[in-house]
Amino acid sequence: MGLTPLDGFMMGTRSGSLDPSVVTFIEGEENLTPGEMNEILNKESGLLGISGVSSDDREVTAAAENGNSRAILAHEMLRYQVAKFIGGYVAALNGCDAIVFTAGLGENNAKHRASICAHLGYLGVKINEDVNNETIKGKENKISTPESKVSVLVIPTNEELMIARDTKIIVEKL
């Protein structure tokens, strides 16, 4: 993320990075105020805006599996954007030892991980499809093959626990 959560790849309702001129173009074409445009970029874009189905990836996945072309497009765009960001960070870091998938999308959607990793073949990334498909819903695993030049891991998060720990630290300082 940058100044706001809009930067980066698209999320459930957020647009992700885009050409800044898109904002003023859409505002002009649709006669929108900056506040209305902000609402669209933060709450009506991303998976929801592209798929037209939901901001919840589980619902977008179900729609894609049923052949919904907008849901399929939303997933293709998301996977491409994530791979592009990984590639950018690999370039900035001048290499990569490991790629870690975590949180909702990273932990629970083997198809996302497989597609993203397919874009990273130039790095020597190779995943074990069987292990990848078995690693969902809170499971931790290394999903890359022994031949992979980059380790690929799935590590579950516990965001609620981290929020509770951080809150405890803040409250104790008061």
CATH code at position 90? 3.30.420.40
Together in a domain, 38 and 124: no
Together in a domain, 63 and 125: no
Domain count within the chain:
2
Together in a domain, 139 and 156: yes
Enter the tokens of residue 141.
């695993």
Residues 6+ apart with CB under 8 A from 141: 131, 134, 135, 153, 154
The model's pLDDT over 23-47, given as tens digits with 9 standing for 90+, comes to: 999 999 999 999 999 999 999 999 9
How much is the pTM? 0.85
pLDDT-derived band of residue 1, with 50, 70 and 90 as boundaries? low
Together in a domain, 123 and 161: yes
Together in a domain, 142 and 159: yes
Query: Domain of 15?
Result: 1-94
Together in a domain, 104 and 42: no
Bigger pLDDT: 127 vs 104: 127
Together in a domain, 50 and 104: no
Together in a domain, 88 and 104: no
Task: Among 73, 94, 115, identify where a domain stops.
Answer: 94
Closest listed residue to residue 99, CA positions, set 81, 83, 110: 83
